[in-house]
Structures are given as C-alpha cells and as structure tokens.
Homo-oligomer: A and B are copies of this chain.
Amino acid sequence: MPLQVRYHECDQQGVVFNAHYLAYADMACTAALKALFGSYGAVLERGVDLVVAESTIRYLAPCRFDDELVVVTSTEKVGTTSLVLRFTVRNGETTAAEIVTRYVWVGTESHRPVAPPDDIRAAFTA
C-alpha cells in the first residue's frame, strides 16, 4: 500500500508524529482485507470482525512531509481466534517503522472471540 506523508501529519520537529504510524497500519490492514476479500464489509457479512488487541511499533527512521512510503503487510501468525500481522513501513531504501499487531476475531453480533470461517483463515495463511 503506497501513501504520501501529509503536511499535517508532521509535528514541529518536522517528522511524522508517532501515532500516525498506527493509522498507517490500520489503513494497510483495510487494504489487505480489500485485496483478499473484496472489501472490509465483505468480511463483516461473514459474521466476523477484527478487533485490535495489541500493537508493537518500532521506530527506525523518521519520515518527513511528502515522503512516499510503502506499507508492506505480511502474516506473522494465524491462531484459532487470533491473527498477527506485520506492517513494514518502507521509505525508499529505508525501513522507517515496523508494526506488529495482534487482532482477535469476534462475532459481529456476540462481540466475543470466535474462530473465523476456514476460507478466511486460509487466505491469511497463503
């Protein structure tokens, strides 16, 4: 997923404010769901939703206004009711940040952890 740093995402040190990296990861997750299943809504229609349980962000190099970034999403682990994704924020040749997020699948009605349909889980294993 490509994205360009917006002016107002930079703080007075002239670098992307740290909280925005989580927003970038969120956007990359949405883009991944879209690529795999057509849309985020298509996942919800199957009766399951992804809830963020934990995120770890390592800041490796600052990004600046107008930088053209690429967020690479990969599956780190597929559990029974959980999913761990890794988002690597690339800024040209540099890795700017690594975000590892653990999600829990929950029922859209119950809001309780559930195992997702097999084909959905398989899509992340592939």
Interface string of A25-54 (1 = CB under 8 A from B): 011001000000001100000000001111
Secondary structure at chain A's binding surface: helix, strand, loop or mixed? mixed
* Cβ-defined contact, B7 with A10, below 8 A: no
Q: How large is the interface on A (under 10, 10 to 19, 20 to 34, 35 or more residues)?
A: 20 to 34
Tell yes or no: A114 within 8 A of B by CB. Answer: no
Q: Mark A16-27, 1 if CB is under 8 A from B, else 0.
A: 011111110011
Contacts of A26 in B (CB 8 A): 7-8, 17-19
* Copies of this subunit: 4
Assuming the contacts A39-B66, A66-B39, asked whether A52 and B18 have C-beta atoms less than 8 A apart, the reply is yes
The 7 closest A-B pairs by CB, nearest first: A19-B22, A19-B23, A56-B56, A8-B17, A19-B19, A12-B14, A54-B58
